[in-house]
């Protein structure tokens, strides 16, 4: 049932009205930031169209059809052949197309076209989810268009995209778009407390760090985040309070350690979040508007010494640094240059 999903009450209302009117479009585009629950909503809609014991117009969540709709076995990320076909759930009328590396393969869209023309095997409709639809390339987009131009009456295609602008305009025009909003801090915190049973302190931190994404909140380890934050606070202390360039170079060495290569981008994310918090504190915002409210006293000391112009220039430099990393350059040298440039700005 939609009531079990977190947030986006407006979307729940839209989908309920579609089901009540029995006018679910043949093609839907679920658009919104990563981790706000788009795929969960798509699966819930698929279940509602095939549930054997509806609760009103919504899926009961307990009948065999609902249970099997959730059961997917996804192939290895290296198995290209498996990505050339629709990945079926344990329910024979609910399938999903997923990307192989950075693209959805044209063969998967051709398979979708074939399968969409079959009548449902067991339920009332066949539903096809296209995860990360913004990874459709030109060949796979054109293959999908063939299906969207003449959608079978008993099939529904749900495109799930975080960057809907990356889709061909001809695809977007053939879909009814349902827009998802970021979740509120309160919604995420309540979900973490009631469902995940974590401590109130961790729930409060993760809800703020998530920036509206329940997926990001669930995927963040609070202990690891605090460790990364401590390291990035040391960078800010060196930039603002102590002026020790040797500390900056040691921090650069630590962040670029090959053993921590998976932490590099997350640590830059944490640094940017801390800078934005410092900027906000300098402007006199309330504590509720600060992500890292639990270390507010430390950041307030830094904020008192940082002008808005300087904080803004730091964020710009970090984004330019990210762009440079897309080129094959030495990460350690680039990070040294970033921190020293921030110290001089």
Domain with residue 75: its CATH number is: 3.40.50.300
Question: Quick one: 13 and 160 in the same domain?
Answer: yes
Q: Is the pLDDT of residue 243 over 80?
A: no
Q: Give tens-digit pLDDT for 273-323.
A: 999 998 988 888 877 788 888 888 888 888 888 888 999 999 999 998 988
Task: Give the three-class secondary structure for 296.
Answer: helix
Confirm whether 212 is domain-assigned. no
Calculate what percentage of the chain has a pLDDT beyond 70.
100
Q: What is the pLDDT of residue 261?
A: 81
Q: What is the pLDDT of residue 330?
A: 83
Q: Is the pLDDT of residue 157 over 80?
A: yes
Confirm whether 336 is domain-assigned. yes
Q: Which of 129, 152, 181 is the last residue of a domain?
A: 181
Q: Can you tell me the mean pLDDT for 139-161? A: 92
Q: How confident is the model at residue 197 (pLDDT cuts 50, 70, 90)?
A: confident
Q: What is the pLDDT of residue 294?
A: 86
Q: Is the pLDDT of residue 106 over 90?
A: yes
Confirm whether 15 is domain-assigned. yes
Confirm whether 208 is domain-assigned. no
Q: Is the pLDDT of residue 161 over 90?
A: yes
Question: pTM higher than 0.85, yes or no?
Answer: no
Q: Which of 151, 181, 211 is the last residue of a domain?
A: 181
Question: Quick one: 149 and 6 in the same domain?
Answer: yes
Question: Quick one: 27 and 169 in the same domain?
Answer: yes
Q: Residue 167 in contact with residue 27, Cβ under 8 Å?
A: no
Q: Can you tell me the mean pLDDT for 124-142? A: 95
Q: Is the pLDDT of residue 64 over 90?
A: yes
229 contacts: CB under 8 Å, gap ≥ 6: 270, 274, 292, 295
Q: How confident is the model at residue 133 (pLDDT cuts 50, 70, 90)?
A: very high
Confirm whether 107 is domain-assigned. yes
Measured CA to CA, the distance from residue 282 to residue 53 in angstroms comes to 56
Per the rule left: phi > 0, alpha: psi between -120 and 50, beta: everything else, 87 is: beta
Residue 290 sits in which domain range? 221-344
Q: What is the pLDDT of residue 241?
A: 81
Q: Which of 155, 181, 207 is the last residue of a domain?
A: 181
Question: Quick one: 159 and 270 in the same domain?
Answer: no
Question: Quick one: 147 and 285 in the same domain?
Answer: no
Measured CA to CA, the distance from residue 79 to residue 61 in angstroms comes to 32
Q: Give tens-digit pLDDT for 212-238.
A: 888 889 888 999 999 999 989 988 988
CA 54 vs CA 58, 65, 103: distances in Å: 6, 11, 36
CA 90 vs CA 38, 61, 81, 272: distances in Å: 21, 15, 20, 43
Q: State the total domains in the chain.
A: 2
Q: Residue 27 in contact with residue 170, Cβ under 8 Å?
A: no
The 10 Å Cβ neighbour count of residue 344 is 8
Question: Quick one: 155 and 261 in the same domain?
Answer: no
């Amino acid at each position: 049932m939609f009531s079990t999903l977190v947030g986006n009450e407006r979307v729940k209302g839209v989908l309920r009205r579609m089901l009540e009117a029995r006018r679910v479009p043949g093609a839907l585009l679920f658009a919104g930031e990563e981790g706000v629950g788009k795929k969960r909503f798509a699966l819930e809609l698929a279940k509602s169209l095939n549930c054997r014991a509806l609760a009103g117009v919504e899926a009961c969540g307990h009948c065999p059809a609902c249970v099997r709709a959730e059961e997917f076995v996804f192939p290895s990320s290296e198995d290209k052949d498996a990505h050339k076909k629709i990945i079926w759930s344990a329910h024979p009328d609910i399938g999903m197309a997923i990307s192989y590396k950075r693209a959805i393969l044209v063969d998967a869209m051709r398979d979708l076209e074939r399968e969409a023309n079959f009548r449902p095997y067991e339920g009332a409709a066949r539903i096809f989810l296209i995860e990360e639809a913004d990874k459709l390339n030109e060949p796979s987009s054109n293959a999908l268009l063939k299906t969207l131009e003449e959608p079978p009456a008993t099939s529904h295609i749900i495109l799930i995209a975080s960057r809907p602008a990356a889709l061909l305009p001809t695809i977007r025009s053939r879909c009814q778009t349902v827009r998802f909003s970021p979740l509120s801090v309160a919604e995420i915190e309540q979900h973490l407390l009631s469902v995940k049973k974590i401590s109130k302190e961790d729930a409060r931190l993760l809800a703020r760090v998530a920036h509206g994404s329940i997926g990001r909140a669930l995927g963040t380890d609070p202990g690891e985040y605090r460790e990364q934050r401590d390291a990035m606070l040391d960078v800010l202390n060196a930039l603002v309070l102590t002026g020790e360039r040797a500390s900056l170079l040691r921090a650069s060495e630590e962040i670029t350690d090959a053993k921590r290569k998976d932490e590099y981008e997350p640590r830059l994310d944490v640094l940017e979040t801390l800078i934005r918090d410092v900027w906000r504190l300098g402007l006199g915002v309330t504590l509720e508007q600060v992500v890292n409210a639990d270390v507010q006293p430390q950041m307030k000391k830094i904020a008192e010494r940082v002008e808005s112009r300087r904080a803004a220039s730091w964020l710009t430099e970090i984004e330019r640094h990210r762009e440079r990393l897309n080129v094959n350059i030495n990460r350690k040298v680039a990070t040294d240059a970033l921190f020293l440039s921030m110290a001089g700005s």
